[in-house]
Homo-oligomer: A and B are copies of this chain.
Amino acid sequence: MSGRSADSITLDIERSIVAGELEEGRPLPAERALMEQYGASRTVIREAITALTAKGFLKSRPRYRPIVCRPDASSAMQAAGGVIKHLLDNSRGVHDLYQVRVLFERVLVRDAATGAGKDDLKRLKDALDDNQAAICDSERFYATDVAFHRVLYTISGNPAYPAIHAGFVEWLAPQWSRMPRSEQRNHDNFLAHQAIYEAILMRDPDAAERALVDHLEASWEFVRSTFFAGENE
């Protein structure tokens, strides 16, 4: 009824991918094969492939066969990312997104404080130690900083959380990863991480949340004054 046969093909290939008929990581059949399989012209097949690529069900390099991608939380974040990155061209958009991150981590540290297991605490401590060891190397410090926060996203075991973390990191990277760094600032950040860790260790969710919020708000203020100094808030 609604005129686009490409849509139904898109849907069917999508279904095949989720159903596992098209194996993840394998290349899609050749366009000319698909056009025989679906009895459609190459135009339509290519249109379906384009749509699936944009939707994140295929990864296609220019001259190669598209690779089948099983959808997971990570690809969902990536699909959203195509739009989200356009919302981040001003401080307002960046701050809105950053607030979401802060919101998220506030619960994560609270839950860590109340429910983290011994192994979780150890992973957190390890990440903290790595962070401390990298204070004098700003590039490595950024990586260990991200890694420390990532541990918080892994404690619950919900596979969506690490994917969400990856999204935050990627989307906020234009500002955070390119921020001027100094050993002094690294050290301050390490102390903030330590305060969070210790509050978690003391099983004090309120203190942990407070330490986290202080840390993230200071970080935002630094980014704001660095990149968005002129904009009206």
Q: Which residues of A contact B (CB under 8 A)?
A: 2-4, 6, 14, 18, 43, 46-47, 50-57, 61-63, 71-73, 75-77, 79-80, 82-84, 86-87, 89, 96-97, 99-100, 103-104, 106-108, 156, 158-161, 164
Contacts and interface: CB of A to CB of B under 8 A. Distances in A.
Cβ-closest 8 pairs across A and B: A54-B54, A80-B80, A76-B83, A3-B62, A71-B83, A2-B62, A51-B54, A50-B50
Contacts of A71: 83-84, 86-87
15 contacts: A2-B61, A3-B63, A54-B55, A55-B82, A73-B87, A76-B80, A76-B84, A77-B80, A79-B80, A79-B83, A80-B80, A96-B159, A99-B156, A99-B160, A100-B158
List the number of copies, as a whole number.
2
A167 to B, nearest CB: 9
A158 B96 contact: yes
Nearest to A3: B62
Contacts of A51: 50-51, 53-54
